[in-house]
Structure 1
Amino acid sequence: MARQIVEVALKALAGGLFVLGFAVLAEMMTPKRLAGVFSAGPSVALGSLLVTAALIGQADMRAAADGMRAGAIAFFVYCLVVPPLLKAWGVWRAALAGLTVWVVTAGAAFLLLPQS
């Protein structure tokens, strides 16, 4: 139990440090609308992967990275599908349809992508 608490705390610390670093990098970029992309997901994922590799091992890190790859592909498809649906169906139905597309795409990507 204590090991899990330490792992979660280290992941939070590493993710926070990477968020800070990527936020500083994003502040130097233009256009500013890309700042959130660089300061959120990639930095937390990188911190989590580093802590997982250090505490648990590379095999678990690779499994986590495979899941992140599938999720990223699914998120890309979500971003392609939802904007046109927003105009036609409204926020709630478009978001629900996008979530369904995300789940199906993530599952298919996880099954079809080569596992490390």
Structure 2
Amino acid sequence: MKSLLEILLKSVVGGLFVVGFAMVAETLRPKRLAGVFAAAPSVALSGLILLVAFKGDREAADAARGMIAGALAFTAYCLVDVPLLGRLGAVRGSAAALLVWCAAAAVLGVVVGP
């Protein structure tokens, strides 16, 4: 029963955070930033809040470190993907950038640790 309650709460709280962040994002210019601002922070924040409620601070801290490592790896992907797309084309450039993301995520996963 606890897992069903946890799933329901994650859905409700996540939805509320998405709506709240989307309302704030509507004020941003240019509009292309609104979607990025609305999606990731709201889902991460609602997930962390519920993780603290159900599993404690330690689990939430581990999850937050993992989120930061993932964001840094994704930033590395974005930084190399744009030039690689121009040089190698869409498929090969994205594949090469994906390898960079995997390497960055692996290194950061070791640094951050479990």
TM-score (norm 1): 0.89
Q: Which residue of 1 aligns with 2:87?
A: 88
Q: Which residue of 2 aligns with 1:68?
A: 67
RMSD of aligned Cα (Å):
1.6
How far the C-alpha of 1:114 sits from its partner, in A, is 7.7
**Aligned structure 1 segments of 4 or more residues deviating by more than 3 angstroms:** none
Structure 1 unpaired stretches of 5+? none
**Which one has more relative contact order, counting CA pairs under 8 Å at least 6 apart?**
1
User: 2:66 touches 2:112 (CA, 8 Å); kept in 1?
Assistant: no
Structure 2 unpaired stretches of 5+? none
Identity %: 46
User: 2:48 touches 2:60 (CA, 8 Å); kept in 1?
Assistant: yes
Question: Any residues of structure 2 matched to 1:43-58 within 5 Å, and which?
Answer: 43-58=42-57
Whole-angstrom CA distance in 2 between matches of 1:9 and 1:53: 16
**Does structure 1 residue 15 correspond to structure 2 residue 14?**
yes
Whole-angstrom CA distance in 1 between matches of 2:28 and 2:96: 33
Question: Any residues of structure 2 matched to 1:36-47 within 5 Å, and which?
Answer: 36-47=35-46
3-state SS in 1 of match to 2:73:
helix
1:51-106 CA distance string (max 9 Å, x none)? 00001111111111111010010011111010111112222222222222112111
